[in-house]
Copies of this chain bind each other. A is one copy, B any other.
Amino acid sequence: MTTFTINERDRFPAQKVEISGRWLFGPGPSNADPRVLAAMSLPPLGHLDPDFLTLMNETQTLLRYAWQTENQMTIPVSGTGSAAMEATLANTVEPGDVVLVAVKGYFGNRLVDMAGRYGADVRKITKPWGEVFNLEELTTAVQTHKPAILAIVQAETSTGVRQPLEGLGELCREHNCLLLVDTVTSLGAVPLFLDQWGIDLAYSCSQKGLGCPPGIAPFTMSPRAVEKMQNRRTIIPNWYLDMSLLSHYWGSDANGTQSARTYHHTAPINMNYALREALYILAAEGIENSWQRHQENAELLWEGLETLGLSCHVEKAFRLPTLTTVKVPDSIDAKAIATKLRIEYNLEIGLGLGELAGKVWRIGLMGYNSHPEKVLLLLGVLQKVLKP
């Protein structure tokens, strides 16, 4: 019999994990609420344990509140926001379906890439990074391309733009098309009425407006979207994100009543604790109060930036309260300043992406970080570094 020997090459003298923390004022993750971190470190339960099934029901109910939807199929996907993004397309796109993507930043392009992988006939309309589409432009595009799905990002994390969504639900219903909206940087922090606005597919993340670490991702689909999925001619070409399978584990709850749940995959138990706690904190505050808090603290930031002689990349009417793109003054090296902030002040801000690389910083005020004293801390540090 052959003997096998232990390879010790990679058994390096590691130590326990030590992280001292950071002020996270970038595009996300933002700092987690300590109550959420405490919930996350509770002992795991089995994924079919009755206590865990109760927590699943509660999470689904609270997610519906956060999104202002009554969609039955509202669940946390067992991955990060991009997994939930992919889930919206994987379940509803069939080869040859026209998917119209309104691109005005990095994440619009990601939707284009993903939709193509599922065989969509992708049509793309674009705007410069920092602008929004108006209803007339989107109406014309829908009339022209007659898509099965119109996809658009509400809160473009790459540009700091808040895309108005009013009227799109009616437009999509008139043209028998599903409305897919990226709410990664808006859920819990920016006004969003999923049902009243007629949104059919949406996804988000845990680490921005909800004040939770990344690793679990809200997902919802309307009855119209479920119907498209159920009428597919082809199998869903993604097992992990297949909502027709996942619905047996997550979908059978109706308004909090427990019924049979069938194993699909082992849920990330502790991430579910964390998300459930974050959603409870949001519900206790009241969604409209959270939206108002984010707006007020963003305005405090914008005033402070102006005082420092800095200007924002996006017109005020369309600025996101969660993510502000700040123009980098001509003589300044954006990256050098970000590095200085991290090293000297233990503080993270984001750099520009794509078209805006080198031109803007991205400053996030999200969830647990959207508080006035933290805005003042950030402004104080910026003043010290930029106007010493």
Contacts and interface: CB of A to CB of B under 8 A. Distances in A.
Contact of A79 (B50, B79, B196, B207): B79
A216 B78 CA distance: 9
Given A10-B61, A40-B40, A117 B239 contact: yes
Contacts of A236: 117
Given A24-B46, A41-B40, A49-B348, A17 B273 contact: yes
Contacts of A166: 2
Give the oligomeric copy count: 2
A108 interface: no
A65 B8 CA distance: 7
Interface in A140-179: 166
Interface stretch (A27-35, A97-105, A299-307): A27-35
Contacts of A195: 7
Nearest to A8: B65
A43 interface: yes
Contacts of A265: 80-83
Interface stretch (A121-129, A224-232, A276-284): A276-284
Majority DSSP secondary structure for residues of A touching B = loop
Nearest to A280: B14
Interface in A19-71: 19, 21-22, 24, 26, 28-29, 31-32, 35, 37-47, 49-51, 55, 58, 61-62, 64-65, 68, 70
A271 B215 contact: yes
A61 B214 CA distance: 23
Contact of A16 (B35, B62, B342): B35
B42 A267 contact: no
Contact of A62 (B14, B42, B215): B14
Most B CB atoms within 10 A — which of A16, A18, A81, A266? Answer: A266
Nearest to A276: B17
B39 A237 contact: no
A12 B61 contact: yes
A290 B148 CA distance: 54
Interface in A274-320: 276-277, 279-280, 283-284, 286-288
Given A118-B237, A215-B271, 14 more contacts: A7-B65, A9-B64, A11-B65, A12-B58, A15-B280, A17-B42, A17-B273, A17-B280, A19-B45, A29-B44, A50-B342, A117-B236, A214-B269, A268-B271
